Amino acid sequence: MFGLGHKKNELVKLLPEVRGRYVCDEPLAKHTWFGVGGPAEVMFYPEDDKDLEWFMRTKPYNLPICVIGGGSNLLVRDGGVPGVVVKLDSKYYRRIELGDGVITCGAGVRNGELKKVMLENGLGGLEFLVSIPGHLGGSIKTNAGCFGKETKDVLLKVTIVNGEGELREVPAEELTLGYRSSCFPDDWIITSLTLRTEPQDPGKTKEIMAEQKAYREKSQPHNVRTAGSTFKNPEGLRAWELIKKSGCADLRVNGAKVSEKHCNFLVNTGKATAHDLETLGETIVQKVKEHTSITLEWEVKRLGIHK
Q: Which of 72, 139, 192, 229 is catalytic?
A: 229
Smallest Cα–Cα separation from 82: which of 56, 108, 62? 62
Is 229 among the catalytic positions? yes
Is 299 among the catalytic positions? yes
Is 21 among the catalytic positions? no
DSSP 127-147: HHHHTS-SBHHHHHHTT-EET
Smallest Cα–Cα separation from 139: which of 151, 131, 147? 151
Q: Which of 77, 180, 192, 246 is catalytic?
A: 180
* Burial (0-12, 13-18, 19+ Cβ within 10 Å), 219: exposed
Whole-angstrom CA distances from 76 to 60, 221, 223, 227, 303 are: 24, 21, 20, 11, 5
Whole-angstrom CA distances from 85 to 41, 64, 125 are: 8, 8, 33
Q: Which of 26, 127, 278, 299 is catalytic?
A: 299
At 140, the amino acid letter reads: I
Active site residues: 180, 229, 299
